[in-house]
Amino acid sequence: MMYLRALLYYTLLVLIVVPYWVLVMCVAPLPRIPRWKIIAGWPRLAAWLAIYVLGIRYEVRGRENIPAEPVVILSKHSSAWETLAYSGIFPPHVYVMKRELMWLPFLGWGLALFSPIFINRAERKNALRRTVEIGKERLAQGFCIMVYPEGTRIAVGKRVRYKLGGAHIAAQTGARVLPVAHNAGLLWPRNSFLKRPGKVTVVIGEPIDSAGQTPEQLMRKVEDWIEHQVEILVRPERAHAA
C-alpha cells in the first residue's frame, strides 16, 4: 500500500510540474515577494497532496514565535518534506543552495525565480562572502533566510557538525535567528521512495538575538536546542521500536 501511495504521489507531482512551470514563467516579471507567493503554491500543493495521498499530516508548535521582521531560520534537515511544507508555515523566505540546482530542467528554472542565494561550494571563502552580501539584500527586501546548517539531509539518529553560514549572516546583519526542529525523517526518510503515514511535528523555538555573539556562539546555542528537541520528538518512536 505504501508503494502504491508513493507511486501515485510522484505521478501527480510530475503531471502538475509542467503546467505549473508555465505559470511560474508567466509571473516572472512580478516583484519578488508577490512572485514568491505564487511560486510557493507548488510546494504548498505538494505538502497538501502528502496529507491526502501519503497520509502525512503535520502540526506546528511555537508558531507564535515567528516574528514580524525577517529573520534567519535555522532548521533541522532530515527529509525532503520540510522543503515542501515550510512554504505554508513560514513567511516568504529564500534558501541558501548550491548553484548546480538552477541547472535542473523546470525545477531549477523555477528555483531561480524564487530569489535564492546560490553559492559555489567549491569556493568556500567566496561562498561565505556571497551568502552574507546577498543575505543582507534579501533581508532588506522582506525575505527571511532559510538555512539548513547540517548542509544536507541527515538520517534520523545521526548527527553532524553544524556549518556556520547561517550564523554568519545573522551576526553580520544583526538579524535574529529562529531555530526549528522536526521529526519528518521518521515518516519521509532521506533517499527513500516509500513514505509512512503519520504526523510530523514541527517545533519553532523563540528567536535568538545575534547581537554581541560570534557565529560560533550563536550556532552552538541553535545546535543544542535543535538536537535536544529532535531527541524529544523521536524518543517515542525509538521506545516503540524497542
State pLDDT tens for residues 167-224: 999 999 999 999 999 999 999 999 899 999 999 999 999 999 999 999 999 999 999 9
Q: Show contacts of 225-231: CB within 8 Å, 24+ apart.
A: 225/179, 225/181, 226/74, 226/75, 226/76, 226/179, 226/180, 226/181, 227/159, 227/181, 229/181, 229/203, 229/205, 230/76, 230/156, 230/181, 230/182, 230/183
Instruction: Catalogue all structural domains in the chain, each as residue range(s) with its CATH number.
Output: 2-241 (3.40.1130)
CA distance 147 to 7: 30
pLDDT digits (tens, 9 = 90+) for 91-137: 999 998 887 777 777 777 778 888 998 887 777 777 788 889 999 99
Q: Are 110 and 208 in contact, with CB atoms under 8 Å apart?
A: no
- Reading the block at residue 79, the C-alpha cell is 527529509
